[in-house]
Structure 1
Amino acid sequence: MHGYIYLDIYISLDKNFLPVNLKDMLNFLFFCKSEIKVPKEFLETIGAFGINLKNPDEVIDNRALSGILVLGGDGTLLKAVPYAYEYDLPILGVNMGKFGFLTEITLEELPQVLKLWVEGSLTFDERTLLEAKYQDKVEVFLNEGAILKGPVGRIITLDLKIDGEEFIEIYGDGLIVSTPTGSTAYNLSAGGPVVHPRVRAMIITPICSFKINHKPFLIPEDSTLEVILKEGEEEVHLLLDGRTNLFIEPKQPVRFHRAKRPLKLVSSPTKSYLTILKEKFTW
């Protein structure tokens, strides 16, 4: 669950490390992995930097917010994405999970990152967000939008159009539409490629296609992809970043395209994306 942390704590950080011009408190929306024991080092660091943590569900005026602070894993960070997009805020993810492709910052790196932040010298990675539209519902996602067959397990048929042009018919368990950032998530498990986050592309990966010559492929990120479920009795889901689940009906198109602006993400000051990739996959 996310919520408040109150900062009535003893600060043990070396005061010489702190920025000289630290005057105003930084206000962050705070997302925390459920049932986590918040480390003392984390509390001491945010206290030393005068950070005020806000509950996302209770924010009224977002103009005073500096960013979003996530303590947990990639799943926790994905829950913060709609808030980051709506308020146009950068996300700082502190890794307390297992894998941590998105939550790159370690507890040891956090003081260094916050020092750069308050000094105004921190740079942000821009990650492409995609938007899914189904009927009157519109949502952005960072990793993937997956169209999946339901519990009955019957094969489903999906018609694909790219920029209005009829393309192919996918006959199988479903389809994943992924960003380069999400290429190491569900897309990779389904046989899709690892794509560097700076590549401007949308990844389309069939799930267990009945036609074995249907392989994952990339299209330009400014394309519009339309997916239409053909007739069938199977219950079909649209799952966005593992947090939003919509039921889709035959003949009702799901449209995917690039969101109006990217996500700003704080990256590790000590490790490159390629270094993290090698470490996580033990390459």
Structure 2
Amino acid sequence: MKLKKSLNLLENVKSAGVVLRPSSPELKEEYLEIKRIFNDIGIETYLEYNSAKMIDFDGFSLNSLCNKVDFLVSVGGDGTLLSVVRRSFKHNIPILGINLGTLGFLTDINMDELENFLTNFKKENYRIDNRMMIEGNLNLNSFVAFNDIVISRKSISSMISIDAKIDGKPFNSYYGDGVIISTPTGSTAYNLSAGGPLVYPLTEAFIITPVAPHSLTQRPLVMPADFEIEFTISDNQGAVIIVDGQDIYEIGQNDSIKIKIAQDNARLIHRTERNYFDVLNEKLRWGN
């Protein structure tokens, strides 16, 4: 697989790796249809191991799959795509999202649109968006997030105290239910429900949004992504770190998590006609 530098497109595409939504054996029929449509245009499909096992097929580990194919196909909803992006991140491989969920901010191709999209795909009528990722470092453990890293209280009966620094300099202390550190892509996720701003997804910026802050003076903050942000738990109850709403880590009193922009981007395959503001209009029902 090679990248067309001038167009940021793939060339000589021969294969795709498919990852299905977990615990959904009913997706076997959808996979067979996807396989047929891809084969009709000369693209061989291979299944990720857990997806294959779920529907009684043979498959490959995700690492092996990423080394074998030209791009990945996530079949499910935005949650499935989030997981695929994080797990395949080190391979820097493009991902196409097929939406079988409900909201579909990230997965914009429905099953009934796939055949037409792939016809355009073969004609190089598509685009690859480079989306900012963030990297968290906690007690020598590092992880990446596509949407957000959330620092949250452990118990619903008490609030949490968090001290924050930017490039080593103190800038705020949060007291409330927690703090969301979001990418622009993730601005339409938990950040939005917590009252944070929407940020155009191809922007490189951090969004720091307090969750139910005790003080009314605490407000969301948008800042350039070339800073490193550090959060320290200042009370004795500790906290939990939640990555993209899926992976959870514990953090103790006086422990810190450092967050910065990841060195590489997530790469999402989209229709050329996909427009972010049309998506907002449709999903958030603006103008209705």
Counterparts of residues 145-156 of structure 1 (less than 5 Å):
145-156=149-160
Aligned to 1:54: 47
| Aligned equivalent of 1:256 | 259
Structure 1 counterpart of 2:278, one-letter code: T
1:138 alignment partner AA: S
Displacement after TM superposition at 1:198 (Å):
2.0
C-alpha contact (below 8 Å) 1:31/1:77 kept by paired residues: no
| 1:73-92 per-position Cα deviation (integer Å, ceiling 9, x unaligned) | 00111110123311110110
**Counterpart Cα distance in 1 of 2:141 and 2:45:** 33
Match status 1:32 vs 2:32: no
- On the 8 A contact 1:68/1:84 being kept in 2, the answer is no
Residue 72 (structure 1) shift: 0.8
Deviations 1:234-264 (A, max 9, x none): 3511000012100001111101100001111
Q: Which moved more, 1:175-184 or 1:108-117?
A: 108-117
Is there any run of 5+ residues in structure 1 with no aligned partner, and where?
A: 1-21
Shift of 1:68: 1.2
Map 1:54-133 → 2, pairs under 5 A:
54-55=47-48, 58-59=60-61, 61=64, 62-120=66-124, 122-133=126-137
Contact 2:167 2:228 in 1 (8 A): yes
Moved more, 175-184 or 103-112: 103-112
Q: Give 1:119 deviation, angstroms.
A: 5.0
Equivalents in 1 of 2:91, 2:179: separation in Å? 30
1:179 counterpart letter in structure 2: T
Structure 1 residues 116 and 189: CA distance shift in structure 2, 3 A: same
- State the alpha-carbon separation in 2 of the partners of residues 56 and 111 from structure 1: 25
**Larger deviation, residues 253-262 vs 31-40:** 31-40
SS of equivalent residue, structure 2 residue 273: coil
Residue matched to 2:249 = 246
2:189 pairs, out of 179, 182, 185, with: 185
Q: Distance in 1 between matches of 2:218 and 2:285?
A: 29
> RMSD value over aligned CA atoms?
2.1
Could you say which residue in structure 2 is the equivalent of 1:12? none
What residue identity is the alignment partner of 1:201?
A
Deviates more, 1:135-144 or 1:38-47: 38-47
TM-score by length of 1: 0.85
| 1:6 corresponds to | none
Q: Does the Cα contact within 8 Å between 1:109 and 1:269 map onto a contact in 2?
A: no
Q: How many angstroms apart in 2 are the aligned matches of 1:158 and 1:271?
A: 39
Q: 1:117, CA displacement in angstroms?
A: 4.0
**Aligned residue in 1 for 2:275:** 272
Question: Secondary structure of the equivalent of 1:191?
Answer: coil
Tell me the TM-score normalized by structure 2.
0.84
Segments of 5+ residues of structure 2 without an aligned counterpart are 1-10, 51-59
Question: Which residue of the partner structure matches residue 42 of structure 1?
Answer: 34
